[in-house]
Structure 1
Amino acid sequence: MKYSKATNYALHTMAFLTLNEKNEAIGVEQLAKMQNLSPTYLSKILTKLVKAGLIESTPGVKGGYRLLKRQKETSFLDVIQAIEGQTSLFHCSLDHNELPHNHGCLIEQVMMNAEAKMKADLDATYIADIARQMKEKRA
């Protein structure tokens, strides 16, 4: 299983914004430079985070992006779903009506169970916790 690069950049951006203790707006250029990205590409990712209600955008010369939700409330799953959506990672390719006893695909059931466990783990892991560890390593 693989998430897009956009998810990688979104998670790192959220960590950088969480480390911004004054919660001042940070411009897209500065956020892009931290990750060696084009500001245009990062803007598309930031737009998804804004739409998901995780960050806010402030227009103007001193504008930029900052956290909207309290830092401890944003989980990895929140960020991943903002970028990737909420669709399942696995879809059975067989016609469920043709499977024996109409019990559905057993392989799909195993995959869905594993995905539920992964989502629970990601939902219990907060960006603020990772940001705190990043800060401790810098000190």
Structure 2
Amino acid sequence: MKYSKATNYALHTMLFLAMETPNKPVGVQQLAERQNVSPTYLSKILTKLAKEGMINSVSGANGGYTLRQNWEDISFLDIIHAIEGKSSLFDDCLHSDPECVIKEVMLSAEEKLEKELKNKKISDLVKK
């Protein structure tokens, strides 16, 4: 299973904000340099995170991005869904067989993965 690079950048950005400056705005340039990624590309990711209410955008000379209040509750799954969407990793069986045993196995595995990711919070990593 593979997630996009955008998800990787989103997870790292959230961890950086949590570890370094949960309440102080950090500019997109600094966040991008930290991950060696284009600020334009990272801005698109930050827009998705802001739209989902995980981060706040602060405008002005000392502006940037901060974590929302209660950021400790944000799970890995929340971040992944903000970037990748909520669609299933497994599309469907080839012949739309309602009793497709392959689909049952894949969806069961996906449910277990989502449960694990939902139980893992960015704040858990900050505590380490």
1:123 and 2:101 aligned? no
TM-score by length of 2: 0.94
Aligned match of 2:10 = 10
- Structure 1 unmatched runs, 5+: 134-139
- Cα shift at 1:22: 5.3
CA distance, structure 1, for counterparts of residue 106 and residue 65 of structure 2? 37
Give, in angstroms, the shift of residue 107 of structure 1: 0.4
Q: Structure 1-normalised TM-score?
A: 0.87
Distance of 1:83 and 1:41 partners within structure 2: 13
Q: Where in structure 2 are there 5+ consecutive unaligned residues?
A: none
Residue 94 of structure 1 corresponds to which residue in structure 2? Answer: 94
**Whose Rg is larger?**
1
- CA deviation after TM superposition for structure 1 residue 64, in Å: 0.3
After superposition, the C-alpha distances for 1:110-139 in whole angstroms (9 at most, x for unaligned) are 100000000000000000111222xxxxxx
Deviates more, 1:58-67 or 1:16-25: 16-25
Q: 1:85 and 2:85 equivalent?
A: yes
RMSD (CA atoms): 1.3
- Distance in 2, matches of 1:15 and 1:118, equals 20
Pair 1:106 & 2:120 matched: no
CA gap of 1:22–1:108, structure 2 versus 1, over 3 A, is closer
Segments of 4+ moved more than 3 angstroms: none
- Distance of 1:132 and 1:117 partners within structure 2: 24
C-alpha distance in 1 between matches for 2:69 and 2:81: 15
Matches within 5 A, 1:30-45: 30-45=30-45
Rounded Cα–Cα distance in structure 2 between residues aligned with 1:10 and 1:131: 16
Change (3 A) 1:110 1:69: farther
| Percent of pairs with identical residues | 53
Tell me the number of residue pairs that the alignment of Structure 1 and Structure 2 aligns: 128
Which whole-Å CA distance do the structure 1 matches of 2:61 and 2:21 have between them?
Answer: 21
8 A contact 2:18–2:67 mirrored in 1: yes
